[in-house]
Chains A and B, each alone.
Chain A
Amino acid sequence: MALLDICNLSVEFATAHGALKAVDGVDLKLDEGEIVAIVGESGSGKSVAMLALMGLLPWTAKVTADRMLFDGQDLLTMSAKQRRKIIGKDISMIFQEPMTSLNPCFSVGHQISEVLAQHFGGSRRSHKARTIELLQQVGIPAAETRLKAYPHQLSGGMCQRVMIAMMIACQPKLLIADEPTTALDVTIQAQILELLVELQQANGMALVLITHDMAVVAETADRVVVQYAGQQVEQRAVKDLFENPRHPYTQALLRALPEHSQGELLNAIPGVVPGQLDRPVGCLFNPRCEHVQEHCRQTPPTRNEDILCHYPLPLAGQKP
């Protein structure tokens, strides 16, 4: 049985200009110990989908799904109290801005032991040894002395390590990392990604990595979900996807990378991601697609073999 099983998840926001469909029919199945990356541009709904899973969206959001199972339990029907028991313990999430994700008023030791106290009970003092162990586990040197440090005394990379320590404190079965390295320097990014993968392997947890960076995906994930304008357009094993993208958007995204350019200019994708008011008819990608046909402009495609396209690109070695 899959650890996480989401079927047809949609999220709508009520805004001044009417309803905004941020996530539109996303499916996601995740096994234990698997690393799945969700890639997409801003506005693709990649963060919103995961926030919906965590129940962290504001009241203006309307979440609907056919199925939302975690470890066999139905997240849709359970009470808020039951849900809180799972969220934060079995499912954890780390965010892009490590500096603002930590409370600046409390020492890092205090904040970690608070998480432990919340989910395992007992006094804060009794959790000290475990807190030090966690800090060591995420590679913070001289962990004992860092217990009393406040977030502003640590660098961005260190803060992100503390966040990770806090999130793995309860040994979650699923860790969602929302752009965990975007705010960090390249050399620190490499360290943090490595740490996440190490922890994932050591604890056997599943990892959902939300990112916009194709290169990070290539080096980290097992499976990739590509999202565009709230829709899930392709879902494949990472190697297949990079060698042989089948959705035109994935293909264009990969070609646009500087290392894949031929000659002076890059292979840019024309146009912009559609906004709330200018969603095209038919396939949402059709105004920017180079393989577009008349059919695409009129009928929205349905998902076939996890590809949301009327005319998916052929597999290598296969005639179209």
Chain B
Amino acid sequence: MNQPLIKARDLHKYYPVKSGFLQADKSLQALSGASFDLYAGQTLAVVGESGCGKSTLARLLTLIETPTAGQLTLDGIDVSMAADAATKKQLRQTVQMVFQDPFGSLNPRQKIGDILQEPLIINTNMTAEQRKQEVLTMMARVGLRDEHFHRYPHMFSGGQRQRIAIARALILKPKIVVLDEPVSALDVSIQAQVLNLLIELQQEMGLAYVFISHDLSVVQHIADQVLVMYLGKPVEQGASEAVFSNPQHPYTQALLSATPQANTERKRQRIKLIGELPSPLDPPSGCSFHPRCQNATAQCKTTAPVMEQRGDVSVACLLVK
């Protein structure tokens, strides 16, 4: 197979946190040790609860922040090596992003046409007429009409705004799109429309998606690979069918059983997760999941597991053999 569009090796991101006067600064381990390959036309879903490092991963992939450690290669270019402006520009055109909240991600004081032209103004030398043509073509592709060009974002519904955001992400013809919970702020009937649009665009343009979500039913539908994270660490990773049909890590199992399904027969035989998410500032010793894990042993409290291949998937758990 050809080379992966994203090659992430052991990505880490720490944030320094001031913990008060005369006290040593702590570091917040927002992401520790994410590795994956993503090929054109494939979707990697990153799943987990709040504080699991999903958004940090998105910020690293979109070059808003640089990793503290680890290697990130986008479309064959090592991000840490890209120092000159031209390479940076090229990298930026490779990765684009769609945000969760379609109400916050569009500048309320700009017209749709100006919002969509902005990436072209910054990154290309097109004339105004060419830009407009390009924007109108893209608008038509995501299901917006020409007359929307001169309107302001507040005149659109959530679903239409998300279409605008998708158009903005795709206008530079990127190869990778990071989708940060792209449908979770939308109504059910609109969710399906936007997901369909994303699937069609992926097939047409051969895009690689990094799909960040907490909604497992959506993930199951759209993903090729799944990366489950807990407190900044990957706990399970593998092909979508393998993870969903036979989850190995106790956290994945709990997450799956906690997700409600539109099925009246299935009345709660849930794996109960006790307790809350621990603070990422003060993660538990050993396996960070052990305080909430049903199967935790004495060893789990002291030894941190590492990701190991177990059958079809990689799992970070001492008890999965």
Contacts and interface: CB of A to CB of B under 8 A. Distances in A.
Tell whether any CB of A sits under 8 Å from a CB of B in the complex.
yes
A129 interface: no
Contacts, number: 127
B50 A266 contact: no
A190 B217 contact: no
B189 A42 contact: no
Interface in B256-270: 257-264, 266-268, 270
A185 B189 contact: no
Contacts of A239: 264
Interface in A225-272: 238-239, 242-243, 252-254, 256-261, 264-270, 272
B170 interface: no
Interface stretch (A88-96, A103-111, A172-180, A209-217): A209-217
Nearest to A158: B276
B138 interface: no
A217 B267 CA distance: 11
B77 interface: no
A258 B196 contact: no
A243 B191 CA distance: 22
A141 B263 CA distance: 32
Contacts of A261: 221
A272 B188 CA distance: 11
A219 B255 contact: no
B262 A259 contact: yes
Classify chain A: how many residues form its interface, as a range.
Answer: 35 or more
B144 interface: no
Contacts of A217: 262
Nearest to A42: B187
Contact of B276 (A186, A188, A193, A219): A188
Contacts of B190: 41, 272
A15 to B, nearest CB: 14
A258 B276 contact: no
Nearest to B48: A185
Given A257-B188, A258-B217, A269-B193, A186 B261 contact: no
B83 to A, nearest CB: 39
A162 to B, nearest CB: 13
A92 B132 CA distance: 54
A212 B188 CA distance: 7
A155 interface: yes
Contact of B260 (A191, A218, A252): A218
B262 A254 contact: yes
Nearest to B190: A272
B195 interface: yes
B50 A185 contact: yes
Contact of A218 (B160, B257, B263): B263
A218 B189 contact: no
Contacts of B221: 258-259, 261, 266
A185 B214 contact: yes
Interface residues of B, number: 43
A273 interface: yes
A288 to B, nearest CB: 8
A275 B155 CA distance: 11
Contacts of B157: 272-273, 275
A45 interface: no
The listed residue with most A CB atoms (<10 A of its CB), out of B187, B255, B266, is B187
B192 A266 contact: yes
B218 interface: yes
Interface in B152-173: 157-160
Interface string B175-216: 000000000000111111101100110000000000000101
Nearest to A221: B264
A136 interface: no
A151 interface: no
A26 to B, nearest CB: 19
B254 interface: yes
A260 B214 CA distance: 19
Interface in A259-304: 259-261, 264-270, 272-273, 275, 288
Contact of B255 (A186, A191, A275): A186
Contact of A41 (B187, B195, B220): B187
B241 interface: no
A189 interface: yes
Nearest to B203: A264
A216 B263 contact: no
Contact of B49 (A187, A257, A272): A187
A74 interface: no
Interface in B27-51: 49-50
A98 interface: no
Contacts of A256: 188-189, 191-192
Contact of A268 (B193, B260, B276): B193
A187 B262 contact: no
Given A191-B273, A266-B221, A258 B160 contact: no
A272 B262 contact: no
A252 B50 contact: no
Contacts of B258: 186-187, 189-190
Contacts of A270: 193
Interface of B: 49-50, 157-160, 187-193, 195-196, 199-200, 214, 216-218, 220-222, 254-255, 257-264, 266-268, 270, 272-273, 275-277
Given A215-B259, A218-B263, A243-B264, 11 more contacts: A155-B277, A187-B49, A187-B273, A188-B49, A214-B188, A215-B260, A216-B260, A242-B264, A254-B262, A258-B220, A272-B160
23 contacts: A41-B189, A155-B277, A186-B214, A186-B255, A190-B257, A216-B260, A218-B264, A218-B266, A239-B264, A243-B264, A253-B188, A257-B217, A258-B195, A259-B262, A260-B262, A265-B196, A265-B199, A265-B200, A266-B192, A266-B196, A268-B189, A269-B192, A273-B187
